[in-house]
Amino acid sequence: MSHHFIRFSHVSYTYPSGTKALDDVSFLITHGEKVALLGVNGAGKSTLLLHTNGLLLAQEGEVNVGDVPVTRKTLPLVRQSVGLVFQNPDDQLFMPTVEEDVAFGPANMRLPDAEIGRRVEVALDRVGALDLRRRAPSELSGGQKRRVAIATVLSMEPSILVLDEPTSNLDWKAQAGLMDLLREFDHTCLIATHDLELIREVCRRCLVLDGGRLVADVTPGELLADGALRALLGLGAERQELRVKS
Ligand SMILES: Nc1ncnc2c1ncn2[C@@H]1O[C@H](COP(=O)(O)OP(=O)(O)OP(=O)(O)O)[C@@H](O)[C@H]1O
Ligand SMILES: [Mg+2]
């Protein structure tokens, strides 16, 4: 894949229960952009993110990662490019130990053992979780699980990083570490979040979902200046944390 962009073209998705979670969503995120995905609970953020690596497949419209359409056939290729960190770390961690979980992706890519070992070390170190490597994921705290879940994706060295509310459960130090990591990440990031500090520190563009529809594609500054968008997101007048950094 020459260009690591994500394109949604008229994507709609309805859950079997009948809830229409995405409704004709179109956007393009180009290489290197760091984009926040906003919307109230139930707006469709997680559903959209699950389409970026084919965990859900568009029922209408098309998702493209680079020049590859996301279909059942292209899933292995797409998943080498797109690293998705789930909203709930328990959905991501299933091996007996932390290091086996972090090694799982690289092992699936059939990398040599030495390279797998190197990646596990680097990824766990990057999230400050090297000391947890021999622990059982099920016995970790919420924030520890979150860090390990992020490491399981970093170890695959994705060119597009997709994170679903990554700062929830993280202590302040871990939040700051994650923001450094995201700032330093050279490639494309799409991040569903309610965290204004994260948006201010990392993102230059915000997509806003409302009832499954994409209703805004703006800079953080524009978002703050827009009374209707603020009201939609429940951002009161006193919430000024989104000041854009100079
Ligand atoms: N597995 C599912 N089966 C049926 N409906 C679902 C399922 N997952 C989500 N939904 C519904 O789809 C809509 C969008 O949900 P989604 O999880 O994408 O929202 P979200 O923006 O990520 O919310 P949150 O901020 O709470 O994480 C909601 O109405 C939700 O109830
Ligand atoms: Mg969600």
Per residue in 29-67, pLDDT (tens digit) is: 999 999 999 999 999 999 999 999 999 999 999 999 999
CB 45 less than 6 A from any atom of ligand 1? yes
* 45 CA from centroid of ligand 1 (Å): 8
Q: Is the pLDDT of residue 242 over 90?
A: no
* 19 CA from centroid of ligand 1 (Å): 9
Q: What is the pLDDT of residues 159-168, one digit of tens each?
A: 999 999 999 8
Per-residue confidence (pLDDT) for residue 177, from 0 to 100? 87
Task: Identify whether the C-beta of residue 133 lies closer than 8 Å to the C-beta of residue 147.
Answer: no
Q: Rounded mean pLDDT of 73-94?
A: 94
Distance CA 24, CA 10 (A): 4
Residue with CA at minimum distance from ligand 1 atom 4? 15
Pairing, β 20-29 against β 6-14: antiparallel
The DSSP secondary-structure symbol of 137 reads: G
Pairing, β 160-164 against β 82-85: parallel
Report how far Cα 95 is from the mean position of its chain's Cα atoms: 21
CB 19 less than 6 A from any atom of ligand 1? yes
Q: What is the pLDDT of residues 151-185, one digit of tens each?
A: 999 999 999 999 999 998 889 988 998 999 899 88
SS3 content of the chain, % helix, strand, coil (to 5): 40, 25, 40
CB 13 less than 6 A from any atom of ligand 1? no
CB 87 less than 6 A from any atom of ligand 1? yes
Q: Is the pLDDT of residue 100 over 60?
A: yes
Its pTM surpasses 0.85: yes
- Give the largest Cα separation in the chain, rounded: 54
Residue with CA at minimum distance from ligand 1 atom 31? 42
Distance CA 237, CA 246 (A): 22
Beta bridge partners of 188: 160
Q: Rounded mean pLDDT of 112-141?
A: 96
Per-residue confidence (pLDDT) for residue 237, from 0 to 100? 67
Distance CA 77, CA 242 (A): 37
170 Cβ partners below 8 Å, 6+ apart? 143, 146, 147, 178
Question: How much is the mean pLDDT over the chain?
Answer: 93
Per-residue confidence (pLDDT) for residue 3, from 0 to 100? 62
Q: What is the pLDDT of residues 191-229, one digit of tens each?
A: 999 999 999 999 999 999 999 999 999 999 999 999 999
Domain ranges of the chain: 6-233
Task: Identify whether the C-beta of residue 215 lies closer than 8 Å to the C-beta of residue 204.
Answer: no
Per-residue confidence (pLDDT) for residue 241, from 0 to 100? 55
Report the share of the chain in percent with pLDDT over 90: 85
- The minimum-distance atom of ligand 1 relative to the CA of 49 is 18
Distance CA 225, CA 29 (A): 23
228 burial type by CB count under 10 A (0-12 exposed, 13-18 middle, 19+ buried): exposed
Per-residue confidence (pLDDT) for residue 2, from 0 to 100? 47
Residue with CA at minimum distance from ligand 1 atom 1? 15
Residue with CA at minimum distance from ligand 1 atom 6? 15
CATH superfamily of 6-233: P-loop containing nucleotide triphosphate hydrolases (3.40.50.300)
